[in-house]
Amino acid sequence: MNTKDLYQEFILDHGTNPRNKFKLAVFNRNTVGFNRLCGDSVHIFINCNNQNIDEISFLGEGCAICIAATSVMTEILKGKSEQDSLGIIRFFLNFVKKSNIENSSALNVLDSNKLKAFQSIANFPMRIKCATLPWLTAEIAIQNKVKEINIEDYN
Amino acid sequence: MTFKNIKDEFPIFKNKVKGKNLVYLDSANSSQKPKSVINAVSQFYSNEFANVGRGIYTLAINASEKYENTRTNIKKFIGANSNYEIIFTKNATESLNLVASCFGSKFIKKDDEIIITELEHHANYVPWHFLRKKIGAVIKFLPIDLNGNLKIEELESLITSKTKIISVTHMSNVTGTISPLEQIVSIAKKHNIPVCVDGTQGAAHLDVDLEKLDCDFYVFSGHKMYGPTGVGLLALKYKWLESFEPFLGGGGMIDYVSKKDIAYAKGVWKMEAGTMPTAEVIALNESVNFINKLGKDKIISHEANLTKYALEKLKNNNSVKIVAQPNQQGGVFSFNIDKIHSHDVSTILDQEGIAVRGGHHCCQVLHEVLKINSSVRVSFGVYNTEEDIDLLCEGIKKCQKIFQK
């Protein structure tokens, strides 16, 4: 376990140059997730039609892990069905805690490889919530449940 | 005792962190403990333990005497004259809650005003917020300037006939700003307003002389002054102790109990309900002795020199932005590295054995005022050295190297 496993080039790239970091002009789902321990927050915007995520974007403040996780997530979930997305989210949430990859059928090889970059977070227990925050927030947004979540209340 | 070999007094520095020597730069969060304090806990439990203030057998009498010795020693330590009493609590947070709750329920009505500052730790805001919610009190914030100095010249204009109390930190746990307490107390006195000082960061690191300062309440905690966790302190003027209703009810705080009525104990006992953190209070005496042996004035200059050295050194790194540099600064400062989040910095430094805190440090209002999301905080204790700062600077360069890729 070392810092370089955590801060891989791929994560640093997404953490410092995030993709899809803007507010969608048209969206029908949005949820803000925050982590009261560190002050990180992500606001997820989704435009869903016919149970499909047509567009997804975010605004937020956070550490490189949090921003990278959000950026990669938006790339992966864009164009997926709601059901597949919820499956991928659950897969990721288990994966970052245990770091063993059991393939999710909804994930293609490209997506799987992207997620592998987050593998070593399991060795940094204090940082797991940095990575799970956007995924939990997206899960709530897709389910159109609530507009604001505190990560402490979710797993 | 001198600063040269002071790390030898602290067993924790014998251990390695991630295979490296521990560079502990988080004393504003909690300080490490010297042998004398650790031994005092062990000695009390091994050979002297009994509950205090209750039994009349030898062990109990001796334990009670030791417990009261700490109170006497603490009084001397903060220059409290006979106008003051010391109450033991669980922590500084509980002490502040006690003041807000007891003072608030007796003296604060709807629309009455409480003045705090933008520097405050949540512990000196949330308890007053309870009064805002419960009673309808109004909280006003004394602002800071961009360097983290309190705009003391605006205090007078915040005061109205409805102002009931001013509660202010002795030293900011983020910027290290030392509040101009003498000025604040003197302005408050003109308007007959009591002043509560959150001395959590002050007690172990700054000069504290209550007789001279003449504030109404001074709050601090044991674990930030090289003492045990689980014990907080509240120095308050005796008149307030007499007028306050008890904060907690139970054993030890009563004089007489019948089915019809209850008479409370007098003095400090009224506020110390139930079994207190006895071993902790007794061991706290050793932390006071430890500080006294080193000498407060020497500690102040040791930490001032470290702060000066660190800030000078960090100036050479253009990517490091110090959050605020107040005119009067203790051994605390916070910074951000350009384009690197405080938690990433904290994780990378941890791999080097360097303990710093990243985040908002329980001061969200301050971070909002300074327009930053979070920061990395460095805070010094007696055991820190210039070498610690050199290692910090190298660690910062490692953070930059990782993120430059």
Residue A64 near residue A40 (C-beta atoms within 8 A): no
CB contact under 8 A, B403 and A64: yes
Distance from CA of B382 to the nearest CA of A (A): 28
Q: For residue B398, give the chain A residue with the closest CA.
A: A3
From chain A, the residues in CB contact with B403 under 8 A are 7, 12, 16, 64
Q: 3-state SS string over chain B?
A: CCCCCHHHHCHHHHCEECCEECEECECCCCCCCCHHHHHHHHHHHHHHCCCCCCCCCHHHHHHHHHHHHHHHHHHHHCCCCCCEEEEEECCHHHHHHHHHHHHHHHHCCCCCEEEEECCCCHHHCHHHHHHHHHHCCEEEEECECCCCCECHHHHHHHCCCCEEEEEEECECCCCCEECCHHHHHHHHHHCCCCEEEECCCCCCCCCCCHHHHCCCEEEEECHHHCCCCCCEEEEEEHHHHHHCCCCCCCCCCEEEECCCCEEECCHHHHHCCCCCCHHHHHHHHHHHHHHHHHCHHHHHHHHHHHHHHHHHHHHCCCCEEECCCCCCECCEEEEEECCECHHHHHHHHHCCCEECEEECCCCHHHHHHCCCCCEEEEECCCCCCHHHHHHHHHHHHHHHHHHHC
Residue from B18, B341, B350, B370 to probe the interface with A (highest A Cβ count within 10 Å): B341
What does the pLDDT look like over A63-116, one tens digit per residue? Answer: 999 999 999 999 999 999 999 999 999 999 988 887 666 666 778 888 888 988
At B8, list the tokens: 């030898």
Work out the minimum CA distance from A62 to partner chain B, whole angstroms.
7
Q: How far is A104 from chain B (nearest CA, A)?
A: 29
B-chain residue closest to A12, CA distance? B403
Question: Rounded to the nearest 5°, which phi and psi values hold at B79?
Answer: 60, 35
ipTM: 0.85
Q: Decide if B203 contacts B73 (C-beta within 8 A).
A: no
User: What is the percentage of chain B residues whose pLDDT exceeds 70?
Assistant: 100
User: What is the pLDDT, as a whole number, of residue A99?
Assistant: 60
Catalytic residue flag (residue B399): no
pTM confidence score: 0.93
pLDDT score of A101? 60
For an interface test with B, the pick among A4, A5, A7 (most B C-beta atoms closer than 10 Å) comes out as A7
pLDDT digits (tens, 9 = 90+) for B311-357: 999 999 999 999 999 999 999 999 999 999 999 999 999 999 999 99
Tell me the shortest Cα–Cα distance from A102 to chain B, in angstroms.
28
**Residues of chain A numbered 1-40 and touching chain B (CB < 8 Å):** 2-4, 6-7, 9, 12, 15-16, 37-40
Tell me the per-residue pLDDT of B264-296, one tens digit each, with 9 for 90 and over.
Answer: 999 999 999 999 999 999 999 999 999 999 999
List pLDDT tens digits, range B94-136.
999 999 999 999 999 999 999 999 999 999 999 999 999 999 9
Quick check: B353 contacting A, CB < 8 Å?
no
